A = this chain, B = another copy of it.
Amino acid sequence: MTQSRQALIFTNDVTTHLRALVEEMSPSSVHIITDSNVAAQVLPSLSLPWPAITVPPGDDNKNISSLSHIWERLIEAGATRKSLVINIGGGVVTDMGGFAAATFKRGVRFINVPTTLLSAVDAAVGGKTGINFAGFKNEIGAFAPADAVIISTACFGSLPSSELLSGYAEMVKHGLLSSPATYTSLIDRDILSTSPAEMLHLLEESVRVKERIVTEDPFEKGLRRALNLGHTVGHAFESLAMERNRPIPHGYAVAWGILVEIIISHMSEGFPSSGIHTYARFLKENGYGAPAITCDDYDALIAYMTHDKKNDTPGAINFTLLSSPGIPKIDRTASSEEIRAALDIFRDLMY
Protein backbone atom coordinates (compact mmCIF):
# COMPACT_ATOMS: atom_id res chain seq x y z
CA MET A 1 0.00 0.00 0.00
CA THR A 2 1.36 3.40 -0.91
CA GLN A 3 0.05 6.78 0.07
CA SER A 4 -0.39 9.61 -2.39
CA ARG A 5 1.74 12.69 -1.88
CA GLN A 6 0.05 15.67 -0.28
CA ALA A 7 0.21 19.03 -2.00
CA LEU A 8 2.01 21.34 0.45
CA ILE A 9 1.50 25.02 -0.23
CA PHE A 10 3.57 27.58 1.67
CA THR A 11 2.07 31.01 1.36
CA ASN A 12 1.04 34.01 3.37
CA ASP A 13 -2.01 34.52 1.14
CA VAL A 14 -4.25 31.67 2.27
CA THR A 15 -7.50 32.93 0.77
CA THR A 16 -6.24 33.23 -2.80
CA HIS A 17 -4.64 29.80 -2.76
CA LEU A 18 -7.64 28.18 -1.13
CA ARG A 19 -10.08 29.61 -3.67
CA ALA A 20 -7.84 28.49 -6.55
CA LEU A 21 -7.54 24.98 -5.12
CA VAL A 22 -11.29 24.65 -4.63
CA GLU A 23 -11.93 25.82 -8.19
CA GLU A 24 -9.47 23.25 -9.50
CA MET A 25 -10.98 20.41 -7.43
CA SER A 26 -14.57 21.40 -8.38
CA PRO A 27 -16.28 19.66 -5.44
CA SER A 28 -20.06 19.24 -5.26
CA SER A 29 -20.01 21.31 -2.05
CA VAL A 30 -17.47 22.79 0.38
CA HIS A 31 -17.64 22.50 4.20
CA ILE A 32 -15.28 24.27 6.59
CA ILE A 33 -14.60 22.51 9.90
CA THR A 34 -13.21 24.69 12.67
CA ASP A 35 -13.48 25.42 16.39
CA SER A 36 -15.28 28.32 18.02
CA ASN A 37 -12.03 30.20 18.81
CA VAL A 38 -10.78 30.04 15.24
CA ALA A 39 -14.28 30.86 13.97
CA ALA A 40 -14.21 34.06 16.00
CA GLN A 41 -10.55 35.07 15.62
CA VAL A 42 -9.31 33.81 12.25
CA LEU A 43 -12.19 33.02 9.89
CA PRO A 44 -13.44 36.62 9.50
CA SER A 45 -10.07 37.79 8.17
CA LEU A 46 -10.01 35.01 5.55
CA SER A 47 -13.36 36.07 4.00
CA LEU A 48 -14.21 32.60 2.70
CA PRO A 49 -17.57 32.00 0.99
CA TRP A 50 -18.32 28.55 2.47
CA PRO A 51 -20.37 27.57 5.55
CA ALA A 52 -18.55 26.37 8.68
CA ILE A 53 -19.21 23.45 11.02
CA THR A 54 -17.95 24.53 14.45
CA VAL A 55 -16.80 22.31 17.33
CA PRO A 56 -15.85 23.41 20.84
CA PRO A 57 -12.09 24.07 21.24
CA GLY A 58 -9.56 21.99 23.14
CA ASP A 59 -8.24 18.46 23.27
CA ASP A 60 -11.04 17.41 25.68
CA ASN A 61 -13.47 17.93 22.82
CA LYS A 62 -11.55 15.79 20.33
CA ASN A 63 -14.02 13.02 21.05
CA ILE A 64 -16.72 10.82 19.58
CA SER A 65 -19.40 13.35 20.42
CA SER A 66 -17.77 16.17 18.43
CA LEU A 67 -17.04 13.72 15.63
CA SER A 68 -20.70 12.65 15.46
CA HIS A 69 -21.68 16.32 15.42
CA ILE A 70 -19.47 16.89 12.37
CA TRP A 71 -20.89 13.84 10.55
CA GLU A 72 -24.46 14.99 11.30
CA ARG A 73 -23.81 18.52 10.04
CA LEU A 74 -22.23 17.13 6.85
CA ILE A 75 -25.37 15.04 6.22
CA GLU A 76 -27.67 18.00 6.95
CA ALA A 77 -25.68 20.17 4.56
CA GLY A 78 -26.13 17.58 1.80
CA ALA A 79 -22.45 16.64 1.48
CA THR A 80 -21.80 13.92 -1.13
CA ARG A 81 -18.80 11.73 -1.96
CA LYS A 82 -17.62 14.55 -4.23
CA SER A 83 -17.74 17.19 -1.51
CA LEU A 84 -14.66 18.85 -0.02
CA VAL A 85 -13.90 19.46 3.66
CA ILE A 86 -11.53 22.26 4.69
CA ASN A 87 -10.16 21.95 8.24
CA ILE A 88 -9.07 25.33 9.60
CA GLY A 89 -7.53 25.25 13.07
CA GLY A 90 -4.99 23.66 15.35
CA GLY A 91 -4.22 19.97 15.79
CA VAL A 92 -7.60 19.17 17.36
CA VAL A 93 -9.42 20.45 14.28
CA THR A 94 -7.11 18.94 11.66
CA ASP A 95 -6.94 15.55 13.44
CA MET A 96 -10.68 15.28 14.03
CA GLY A 97 -11.84 17.00 10.83
CA GLY A 98 -9.47 14.80 8.85
CA PHE A 99 -10.90 11.67 10.48
CA ALA A 100 -14.47 12.88 9.90
CA ALA A 101 -13.67 13.43 6.21
CA ALA A 102 -11.80 10.13 5.89
CA THR A 103 -14.82 8.18 7.16
CA PHE A 104 -17.79 10.17 5.80
CA LYS A 105 -19.31 8.00 3.05
CA ARG A 106 -16.02 6.04 3.24
CA GLY A 107 -13.93 9.11 2.54
CA VAL A 108 -14.25 12.57 1.01
CA ARG A 109 -11.41 14.89 0.04
CA PHE A 110 -10.05 17.36 2.58
CA ILE A 111 -7.64 20.27 2.86
CA ASN A 112 -5.88 21.31 6.07
CA VAL A 113 -5.20 24.95 6.93
CA PRO A 114 -3.26 24.85 10.23
CA THR A 115 -3.57 28.00 12.32
CA THR A 116 -0.90 27.22 14.93
CA LEU A 117 2.81 26.60 14.42
CA LEU A 118 2.47 23.23 16.14
CA SER A 119 -0.25 22.00 13.82
CA ALA A 120 1.55 23.43 10.78
CA VAL A 121 4.72 21.53 11.56
CA ASP A 122 3.14 18.44 13.02
CA ALA A 123 -0.55 17.53 12.98
CA ALA A 124 -1.64 18.91 9.61
CA VAL A 125 0.94 17.03 7.55
CA GLY A 126 1.46 13.29 7.32
CA GLY A 127 -1.96 11.71 7.26
CA LYS A 128 -2.49 10.84 10.91
CA THR A 129 -6.09 11.61 11.80
CA GLY A 130 -8.15 10.63 14.83
CA ILE A 131 -9.87 11.32 18.10
CA ASN A 132 -9.27 10.54 21.76
CA PHE A 133 -11.33 7.64 23.12
CA ALA A 134 -11.92 6.14 26.57
CA GLY A 135 -9.22 8.38 28.04
CA PHE A 136 -6.57 7.47 25.48
CA LYS A 137 -5.10 10.04 23.10
CA ASN A 138 -5.64 9.38 19.38
CA GLU A 139 -6.86 5.89 20.19
CA ILE A 140 -9.29 5.82 17.24
CA GLY A 141 -8.30 7.14 13.83
CA ALA A 142 -7.02 6.47 10.36
CA PHE A 143 -4.03 7.15 8.16
CA ALA A 144 -5.55 9.57 5.65
CA PRO A 145 -3.47 12.27 3.99
CA ALA A 146 -5.08 15.63 3.26
CA ASP A 147 -5.33 16.34 -0.46
CA ALA A 148 -3.55 19.61 0.26
CA VAL A 149 -2.13 21.50 3.22
CA ILE A 150 -1.89 25.28 3.08
CA ILE A 151 0.76 26.53 5.47
CA SER A 152 0.97 30.15 6.42
CA THR A 153 2.61 32.14 9.21
CA ALA A 154 0.35 35.12 8.64
CA CYS A 155 -1.86 34.52 11.65
CA PHE A 156 0.87 33.39 14.04
CA GLY A 157 1.45 37.00 15.12
CA SER A 158 -1.64 36.76 17.30
CA LEU A 159 -0.52 33.51 18.97
CA PRO A 160 0.80 33.59 22.56
CA SER A 161 4.57 33.05 22.74
CA SER A 162 4.04 29.66 24.44
CA GLU A 163 2.26 28.45 21.27
CA LEU A 164 5.20 29.53 19.13
CA LEU A 165 7.77 27.89 21.41
CA SER A 166 5.66 24.75 21.51
CA GLY A 167 5.51 24.42 17.73
CA TYR A 168 9.14 25.39 17.33
CA ALA A 169 10.20 22.36 19.41
CA GLU A 170 8.81 20.06 16.70
CA MET A 171 10.74 22.03 14.08
CA VAL A 172 13.95 21.54 16.07
CA LYS A 173 13.12 17.83 16.25
CA HIS A 174 12.89 17.72 12.45
CA GLY A 175 16.23 19.56 12.30
CA LEU A 176 17.84 16.95 14.56
CA LEU A 177 16.51 14.16 12.33
CA SER A 178 17.63 15.89 9.15
CA SER A 179 21.16 17.35 9.18
CA PRO A 180 23.60 19.30 11.36
CA ALA A 181 23.16 22.37 9.14
CA THR A 182 19.35 22.44 9.36
CA TYR A 183 19.51 21.80 13.08
CA THR A 184 22.09 24.52 13.74
CA SER A 185 20.14 27.11 11.74
CA LEU A 186 17.14 26.41 13.98
CA ILE A 187 18.74 26.51 17.43
CA ASP A 188 21.08 29.43 16.72
CA ARG A 189 18.21 31.88 16.82
CA ASP A 190 15.86 33.95 18.99
CA ILE A 191 12.50 32.36 18.19
CA LEU A 192 10.19 35.17 19.21
CA SER A 193 11.99 37.82 17.14
CA THR A 194 11.98 35.76 13.94
CA SER A 195 9.95 37.51 11.21
CA PRO A 196 6.88 35.81 9.65
CA ALA A 197 8.64 35.56 6.27
CA GLU A 198 11.73 33.98 7.80
CA MET A 199 9.55 31.68 9.92
CA LEU A 200 7.67 30.58 6.78
CA HIS A 201 11.00 29.69 5.18
CA LEU A 202 12.16 27.69 8.25
CA LEU A 203 8.76 26.05 8.46
CA GLU A 204 8.92 24.94 4.84
CA GLU A 205 12.31 23.34 5.38
CA SER A 206 11.03 21.62 8.52
CA VAL A 207 7.81 20.32 6.98
CA ARG A 208 9.75 18.96 4.00
CA VAL A 209 11.79 16.84 6.42
CA LYS A 210 8.62 15.33 7.82
CA GLU A 211 7.17 14.91 4.32
CA ARG A 212 10.23 12.93 3.18
CA ILE A 213 10.00 10.61 6.16
CA VAL A 214 6.24 10.10 5.84
CA THR A 215 6.45 9.45 2.10
CA GLU A 216 8.95 6.68 2.73
CA ASP A 217 6.93 5.13 5.56
CA PRO A 218 3.31 6.30 5.56
CA PHE A 219 2.01 3.65 7.99
CA GLU A 220 4.76 3.93 10.61
CA LYS A 221 6.28 0.51 10.08
CA GLY A 222 9.85 1.75 10.50
CA LEU A 223 11.53 5.02 9.57
CA ARG A 224 8.53 7.13 10.55
CA ARG A 225 9.14 6.13 14.17
CA ALA A 226 12.08 8.54 13.99
CA LEU A 227 9.47 11.27 14.38
CA ASN A 228 8.91 10.00 17.93
CA LEU A 229 12.22 11.58 18.97
CA GLY A 230 11.61 13.40 22.26
CA HIS A 231 8.13 11.95 22.59
CA THR A 232 8.73 8.91 24.81
CA VAL A 233 9.98 11.10 27.64
CA GLY A 234 7.90 14.09 26.48
CA HIS A 235 4.62 12.18 26.75
CA ALA A 236 5.61 11.02 30.25
CA PHE A 237 6.20 14.67 31.32
CA GLU A 238 2.86 15.57 29.75
CA SER A 239 0.96 12.71 31.42
CA LEU A 240 2.45 13.45 34.84
CA ALA A 241 1.57 17.13 34.51
CA MET A 242 -1.97 16.20 33.43
CA GLU A 243 -2.35 13.84 36.40
CA ARG A 244 -1.42 16.74 38.69
CA ASN A 245 -3.85 19.10 36.99
CA ARG A 246 -1.01 21.36 35.87
CA PRO A 247 -1.05 20.73 32.11
CA ILE A 248 1.94 21.89 30.05
CA PRO A 249 2.12 22.72 26.33
CA HIS A 250 2.82 19.62 24.22
CA GLY A 251 5.81 21.23 22.54
CA TYR A 252 7.44 22.16 25.86
CA ALA A 253 7.18 18.52 26.94
CA VAL A 254 8.75 17.47 23.63
CA ALA A 255 11.51 20.08 23.96
CA TRP A 256 12.41 18.73 27.42
CA GLY A 257 11.95 15.14 26.24
CA ILE A 258 14.45 15.73 23.43
CA LEU A 259 17.05 16.84 25.98
CA VAL A 260 16.57 13.70 28.10
CA GLU A 261 16.68 11.53 24.99
CA ILE A 262 19.88 13.08 23.61
CA ILE A 263 21.43 12.50 27.04
CA ILE A 264 20.45 8.81 26.69
CA SER A 265 21.78 8.99 23.11
CA HIS A 266 25.10 10.20 24.48
CA MET A 267 25.22 7.29 26.91
CA SER A 268 24.37 4.55 24.42
CA GLU A 269 24.76 5.88 20.86
CA GLY A 270 27.74 8.24 21.14
CA PHE A 271 25.82 11.50 20.66
CA PRO A 272 28.44 14.25 21.33
CA SER A 273 28.31 15.80 24.81
CA SER A 274 28.91 19.28 23.34
CA GLY A 275 25.58 18.84 21.52
CA ILE A 276 23.82 18.28 24.83
CA HIS A 277 25.09 21.58 26.20
CA THR A 278 24.28 23.52 23.03
CA TYR A 279 20.73 22.20 23.09
CA ALA A 280 20.24 22.89 26.82
CA ARG A 281 21.42 26.47 26.24
CA PHE A 282 18.92 26.86 23.36
CA LEU A 283 16.09 25.80 25.71
CA LYS A 284 17.15 28.21 28.46
CA GLU A 285 17.76 31.20 26.19
CA ASN A 286 14.35 30.86 24.56
CA GLY A 287 12.41 30.54 27.80
CA TYR A 288 11.20 26.94 27.67
CA GLY A 289 11.55 26.64 31.46
CA ALA A 290 11.72 23.15 32.98
CA PRO A 291 9.26 20.61 34.37
CA ALA A 292 8.65 20.62 38.12
CA ILE A 293 10.07 17.16 38.87
CA THR A 294 12.24 15.65 41.57
CA CYS A 295 13.85 12.24 41.82
CA ASP A 296 10.69 11.13 43.64
CA ASP A 297 8.87 11.40 40.29
CA TYR A 298 11.15 9.07 38.36
CA ASP A 299 9.13 5.94 39.05
CA ALA A 300 5.93 7.58 37.86
CA LEU A 301 7.65 8.90 34.71
CA ILE A 302 9.12 5.49 33.90
CA ALA A 303 5.71 3.88 34.44
CA TYR A 304 4.21 6.28 31.89
CA MET A 305 7.01 5.47 29.42
CA THR A 306 6.36 1.74 29.91
CA HIS A 307 2.68 2.17 28.99
CA ASP A 308 3.29 4.36 25.94
CA LYS A 309 1.47 3.01 22.88
CA LYS A 310 4.70 3.23 20.86
CA ASN A 311 5.91 0.14 22.72
CA ASP A 312 5.00 -3.03 20.97
CA THR A 313 7.42 -5.30 22.77
CA PRO A 314 5.96 -5.90 26.25
CA GLY A 315 8.15 -4.55 29.05
CA ALA A 316 10.60 -2.62 26.83
CA ILE A 317 10.46 1.15 26.42
CA ASN A 318 10.83 2.21 22.79
CA PHE A 319 13.03 5.24 22.01
CA THR A 320 14.22 7.02 18.91
CA LEU A 321 17.80 8.02 19.70
CA LEU A 322 20.53 9.82 17.74
CA SER A 323 24.17 8.99 17.19
CA SER A 324 24.58 12.63 16.08
CA PRO A 325 22.35 15.35 14.58
CA GLY A 326 21.02 13.94 11.31
CA ILE A 327 21.56 10.26 12.22
CA PRO A 328 18.49 8.83 14.00
CA LYS A 329 18.43 5.32 15.44
CA ILE A 330 14.90 3.92 15.70
CA ASP A 331 13.55 1.13 17.92
CA ARG A 332 16.14 1.57 20.66
CA THR A 333 15.50 0.82 24.32
CA ALA A 334 17.00 2.05 27.58
CA SER A 335 16.98 0.48 31.04
CA SER A 336 15.32 2.26 33.93
CA GLU A 337 18.80 2.85 35.41
CA GLU A 338 19.87 4.67 32.26
CA ILE A 339 16.65 6.70 32.24
CA ARG A 340 17.11 7.67 35.90
CA ALA A 341 20.72 8.72 35.22
CA ALA A 342 19.61 10.79 32.22
CA LEU A 343 16.88 12.49 34.29
CA ASP A 344 19.53 13.37 36.92
CA ILE A 345 21.71 15.02 34.27
CA PHE A 346 18.67 16.74 32.78
CA ARG A 347 17.83 18.30 36.15
CA ASP A 348 21.45 19.38 36.68
CA LEU A 349 21.42 21.11 33.31
CA MET A 350 18.03 22.80 33.62
CA TYR A 351 17.77 23.95 37.24
Contacts and interface: CB of A to CB of B under 8 A. Distances in A.
Interface of A: 1-4, 28, 64, 68, 71-72, 75, 80-82, 102-107, 128-130, 133-134, 136, 138-143, 219, 309, 312, 314
A101 B104 CA distance: 17
Copies in the complex: 2
B71 A142 contact: no
Contacts of A3: 1
B219 A107 contact: yes
A139 B104 CA distance: 6
A103 B3 CA distance: 17
A348 to B, nearest CB: 36
Nearest to A99: B103
A104 B140 contact: yes
Contacts of A80: 309, 312
Given A4-B1, A75-B134, A102 B142 contact: yes
Contact of A82 (B64, B136, B312): B312
A139 B81 contact: no
Contacts of A141: 103, 105-106
A85 to B, nearest CB: 14
A53 to B, nearest CB: 14
> For chain A, what secondary structure do more than half of its interface residues adopt (helix, strand, loop), or is it mixed?
mixed
Given A2-B2, A28-B312, A106-B138, 6 more contacts: A1-B3, A75-B133, A75-B139, A102-B142, A104-B140, A107-B143
B309 A139 contact: no
Contacts of A1: 1-4
Contacts of A82: 312
A273 B4 CA distance: 46
B105 A71 contact: no
Nearest to A311: B80
Contacts of A140: 71, 103-105
Contacts of A142: 102-103, 106-107, 142
Contacts of A129: 106
Contacts of A136: 75
Contacts of A143: 106-107
A314 to B, nearest CB: 8
Contacts of A309: 80-81, 105
Contacts of A107: 142-143, 219
A195 B148 CA distance: 53
A72 B102 contact: no
A102 B75 CA distance: 22
Contacts of A72: 134
Contacts of A71: 133-134, 139-140
16 contacts: A1-B2, A28-B312, A64-B68, A68-B133, A72-B134, A75-B133, A80-B309, A81-B312, A103-B140, A103-B142, A104-B140, A105-B139, A106-B128, A106-B130, A107-B142, A142-B142
